[in-house]
């Protein structure tokens, strides 16, 4: 089975056992690509790794990463491995930089040495622009990171562009908004939809940080996967926002999930988290023009799918 009428590729997905990466791997395998996964399982789960992918349990900072490149000879590297928690980056900026900057440089160096055709890098449109001067933020908005996580993402963007100028390495950078959906960790620090949904299904009371009027641009996982597939053969040398262009408040998310789940309790409020942007949404006209990409899953539909997923997990666990 060929991929979208194109030649099947050898693709290495770092972070391919994680929330976003594992969904990308599943689709790549379905479309007939040969896929290898590198993940240290610090955040990902081995059970999420597609059984048809070649799996290497490894930190992207490891010198042994070169052996993976030597063995697999990937044509495309989809680099999703990262330290993903903004709050952890605030607490441990050195650790964040070690993974997100030095680990990414290790990936880029191996991509250069082993003749990779293209690197796809997910950056963070939800954090690197800082508090916006205007909404929605387009790709030309000033970069003003408010956290080490955001600063690291922008640093890697800069390195990737340098590798293209210096070594001819092709790339596309995708600046994601707030991605949600099945497999997102409901017990971590990030991912308010997963956290709220699981808490409600467990009968626990969710905590809203700050007033709850802070807004995010919530994007369903399937639309993110679609963008990643499109840039395998498009978006050369481009930085593209991947979002919906609309902001939704945390309070609204809580209410919509409450209605779907038929949850009767009210949330409690905690202090706001340092380093987080208050209001953000992303302009996506460039992705639409360059790729023909647009989000297809509405927030209501995405929330319903996400609740159904976590409900099915709770049901399965309860039957064991």
Q: Which residues are catalytic?
A: 149
User: To which H or E segment does residue 56 belong?
Assistant: strand 54-57
**CA separation for the pair 10, 216 (Å, rounded):** 35
Dihedral of alpha carbons 215, 221, 222, 225, sign = positive
* CA distances (Å), origin 242, targets 156, 172, 224, 231, 288: 18, 12, 7, 12, 9
For the beta carbon of residue 305, count every other beta carbon within 10 angstroms: 16
- Of 182, 197, 194, 172, the residue nearest 305 (C-alpha): 182
- Of 143, 280, 302, 104, the residue nearest 220 (C-alpha): 302
**CA separation for the pair 214, 223 (Å, rounded):** 23
Contact at 8 Å (CB) between 143 and 129? yes
């Amino acid at each position: 089975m060929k991929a979208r009428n194109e030649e099947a590729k050898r693709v290495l997905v770092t972070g391919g056992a994680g929330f976003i990466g594992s969904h990308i791997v599943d689709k790549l395998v379905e479309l007939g690509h040969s896929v290898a996964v590198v993940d240290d399982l610090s955040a990902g789960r081995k059970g999420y790794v597609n059984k048809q992918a070649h799996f290497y349990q490894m930190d992207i900072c490891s010198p042994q990463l070169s052996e993976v490149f030597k063995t697999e000879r990937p044509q495309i590297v989809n680099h999703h491995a990262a330290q993903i928690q903004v709050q952890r980056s605030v607490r441990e900026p050195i650790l964040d930089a070690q993974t997100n900057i030095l680990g990414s440089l290790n990936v880029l160096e191996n991509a250069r040495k082993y003749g990779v055709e293209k690197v796809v890098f997910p950056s963070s449109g939800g954090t690197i622009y800082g508090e916006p001067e205007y909404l929605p933020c387009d790709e030309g908005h000033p970069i003003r990171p408010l956290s080490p996580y955001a600063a690291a993402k922008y640093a890697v963007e800069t390195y990737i562009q340098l590798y293209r100028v210096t070594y001819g390495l092709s790339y596309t950078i995708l600046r994601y908004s707030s991605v949600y959906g099945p497999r997102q960790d409901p017990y971590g620090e990030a991912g308010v939809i997963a956290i709220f949904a699981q808490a409600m299904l467990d009968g626990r009371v969710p905590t809203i940080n700050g007033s709850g009027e802070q807004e995010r641009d919530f994007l369903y996982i399937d639309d993110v996967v679609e963008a990643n597939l499109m840039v395998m053969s498009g978006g050369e040398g481009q930085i593209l926002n991947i979002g919906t262009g609309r902001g939704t408040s945390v309070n609204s998310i809580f209410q919509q999930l409450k209605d779907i789940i038929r949850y009767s309790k009210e949330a409690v409020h905690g202090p706001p988290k340092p380093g987080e942007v208050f209001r953000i949404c992303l302009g996506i006209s460039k992705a639409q023009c360059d790729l023909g990409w647009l989000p297809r899953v509405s927030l209501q539909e995405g929330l319903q799918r996400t609740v159904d997923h976590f409900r099915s997990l709770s049901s399965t666990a309860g039957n064991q």
